[in-house]
Amino acid sequence: MAEKSISEMEKNAAAVANQNLAEALEAAVDVLNLFTKIQANDVPAKKLTKAERVKLLLLQRIQNDLRCCVILVEHGYPLQAVSQAASIYEGWVTVGNIETEEDAIKWLSHDKEDKSFGRIRALTEQALKRITGDANEADKMYSQYQQLCMAKHLNPILERGRGYVFEDNVIQFRPGPDTSELAIKWGWMALECASRFAQFALFCIALSQEISTTLHLELITQLKKLKALQDKFAKRWPDNYPSQKP
């Protein structure tokens, strides 16, 4: 029998994703829709400050990364989506550290190709302090980021258990979509984390400008739904949330 084409395999993978990841996919789309609503409210008539410009620029990147994450999961490429989710995390903690004009100038003036804007652990702590008033969740959130980075950095712990099958004493390395149970797990984590971290970026924007009461309530309601989704994932796959308390 002829091998299936990549496009046909991706079509089949989409059916699997829509069946097994419907809740996580819906959450990601809901966050994307809220991005559109808040961004429509983002640009004031007056000239943007540097801090506003940097945050909106980063928010645009995060929104596109979240959309790419959805597309990758839908087509059967969950590990690539996990890598995208790690970038979204880096984006939101950066947004959370752009508060003043001095912060924005520091970001705009960054000229080191071999160094990031800041250490992610330190950015996480500072972003949480600005949003919630404390950094009690910093260790927990950073541990989730480290889980995402296993895919981003091709960590052997993750890589050595995927991408091949044994048939008739022959090993086959198969590129293309992955619809295994392991892929479902990583697809769920990619969508859950990417949606939640992208929503944190939206909170940063909401704190820095006036938004309607309706949008504020929608943000709060969505945050609660994403927390419930996180708890559901952590209960099913606790190894991916090593610091998550029951």
User: pLDDT value at position 142?
Assistant: 92
User: pLDDT value at position 195?
Assistant: 96
In eight-state DSSP terms, residue 134 is -
Contacts 24+ apart (CB under 8 A), 11-18: 12/177, 12/179, 13/74, 13/75, 13/76, 13/177, 13/178, 13/179, 14/74, 14/75, 14/76, 16/76, 16/179, 16/184, 17/73, 17/74, 17/75, 17/76, 17/179, 17/187, 18/74
Nearest to 89 by CA among 199, 183, 228: 199
User: pLDDT value at position 41?
Assistant: 53
User: pLDDT value at position 83?
Assistant: 95
3-state secondary structure of 52: helix
Q: How far apart are CA 127 and CA 138, in angstroms?
A: 9
Look-up: residue for tokens 């699997």?
16
Please list, residue by residue across 168-186, b when 16 or more beta carbons sit within 10 angstroms of its beta carbon and e when fewer do.
eeeeeeeebbbbeeebbbb
The CA-CA-CA angle for residues 56, 115, 55, to 5°, reads 10
User: pLDDT value at position 132?
Assistant: 76
Question: What burial class does residue 53 get, using C-beta atoms within 10 Å of its C-beta: 0-12 exposed, 13-18 middle, 19+ buried?
Answer: middle
Q: Are residues 43 and 211 in contact, defined by beta-carbon separation less than 8 angstroms?
A: no
User: pLDDT value at position 137?
Assistant: 84
Look-up: residue for tokens 């990601």?
28
3-state secondary structure of 170: strand
Q: How far apart are CA 61 and CA 194, in angstroms?
A: 13
Q: What is the pTM of this model?
A: 0.89
In the chain, which stretches have pLDDT less than 70? 1-2, 40-46, 208-210, 242-246
What is the tens place of the pLDDT at every residue in 178-233? 999 999 999 999 999 999 999 999 888 877 666 777 888 888 899 899 999 999 99
Neighbours of 226 (CB within 10 A): 22
Q: How far apart are CA 192 and CA 85, in angstroms?
A: 9
| Count of helix runs (H) and strand runs (E) in the chain | 10, 2
Q: How far apart are CA 69 and CA 168, in angstroms?
A: 35
User: pLDDT value at position 170?
Assistant: 82
